[in-house]
Amino acid sequence: MTGLGAVFRPQLPPERLRALARLADERGLEELWLWEDCFREGGISTAAAALAWTERVRIGVGLLPVPLRNVAITAMEAATLHRMFPGRAALGIGHGVQDWMGQVGARAESPLTLLREHLLALRALLAGERVTTRGRYVTLDDVALDWPPAGPVEVLTGATGPRTLRLSGEAADGTVLTAGTPPEGVRRARRLIDEGRLKAGRTQPHRVVVYLLTATGPDATARLRAELTEEGLADVPDLGAAGDADAVAKAVQRLADAGADTVVLQPTADEPDPEGFIRFVARDVRPLVP
């Protein structure tokens, strides 16, 4: 079955999260995803709050920008969430938006090297290993978690370019693709991820999560078009979904057919009714997605 979720966009103030997270939980939504966008809301703090306010919905963070984070802190926070809320946290890490990283003095000369070092160290720490490493960016001296997760932890990586997609296949457990990824882009990403998996000799499943920019309601097409235009994506074919539940479900299915395991519906930044959007995804779209 194709997984289905929705995004709580950080254009909303953090005090809105409690009601929306509880609504997602009550309505049976499978996943609610949060963003750590500079300079809006922290990914771990919002995830911890959302998990505490809910009982069953899975909370994803896509993404935690690794230039902002020491890998030991990332591991400690991830392990804590997984011990307190087993199986309900999905954490993705990534390069971060380079302009934002520059604004805070954290821009790496080689983002790919940093991400590789962070990924390898993070997965080792979360597996309960004692790690000593001295890389270009990541240095650990006999570090181990006192409270590692009780079981395996899924670590996802946000990726767009070929080298990062191959790295995700090599070193991550899943990949998060942006809403700028049409079905053909998902197919391409899958091929590159599989190249990385083959290189590393990895055979376990690799989850691909894709955001789908979605608008519903009487002005859906105009709002979708406006956001795609603002993002410079108006000319990308077969991108986004606008209309009723049937139209959105068909767009979800196109991404699933291309290789997406989970599709996360991303409302436009000007979504007038965030609560209504959650209800729409859970009540109207979910029954139409196999």
CB atoms within 10 A of CB 123: 19
How many domains is the chain built from? 1
Which pLDDT tens digit goes with each residue over 201-243? 999 999 999 999 999 999 999 999 999 999 999 999 999 999 9
DSSP, res 84: H
3 state SS of 287: helix
Over the stretch 90-124, which tens digit does the pLDDT of each residue have? 999 999 999 999 999 999 999 999 999 999 999 99
Beta bridge partners of 6: 32, 265
Domain range enclosing 199: 3-288
Q: Is 106 exposed, middle or buried (0-12, 13-18, 19+ CB in 10 A)?
A: middle
The CATH number of whichever domain residue 166 belongs to comes to: 3.20.20.30
